[in-house]
Amino acid sequence: MAGRAPVRAVYPGTFDPVTPGHLDVVNRARGLFDEVVVLVAVNGDKQPGSGEEQRAAAVRAALPAGWTTVTVAAWRGLTADYCRRHGAGVIIRGVRNTTDLQAEQRLAGMNQSLGVPTVFLPARPELAATSSTAARTRGKASA
């Protein structure tokens, strides 16, 4: 596609903690878009174990060094606002199951009305059971 403008995609989430499933979505998004921003967000419906800057640092530490087209940012506000302010043309969302898809479709509709489309990436079968909630639960059990 010679002459097309580079496409920046945003992958938002709380990433509390970042999981192999998250990293897989980022890796696959790298193959689809010129730049991927992992957007560590604040979600009023969730009570993360640490602040967004600490979670962003954890995501940065989890990214392989060779992923030079991936950046990490912390953000308080609507994802669509971040996209408009930073020239991102698309939002990436990973979906593990039909429950995820239904919830994500509602958010995608809202973001589309704000001018930013969403691309869904289905979880690979071996990662579909992976969730931050399960990772936190395992972490507490081993502490």
- Cβ burial, residue 36 (10 Å; 0-12/13-18/19+): buried
Q: Is 46 a catalytic residue?
A: yes
- Which run of H or E residues covers position 39? strand 35-41
Catalytic position from the list 8, 55, 93, 132: 132
Catalytic position from the list 30, 60, 86, 96: 96
Q: Is 132 a catalytic residue?
A: yes
Q: Is 138 a catalytic residue?
A: no
Q: Is 140 a catalytic residue?
A: no
Catalytic position from the list 46, 84, 85, 138: 46
For residues 75 and 42, the answer to whether their CB atoms sit within 8 Å is yes
> Helix, strand, coil: what percent of the chain each, to 5?
40, 20, 35
Catalytic position from the list 8, 22, 55, 93: 22
Helix (H, G, I), strand (E, B) or coil at 28: helix
Active site residue ranges: 22, 46, 96, 132
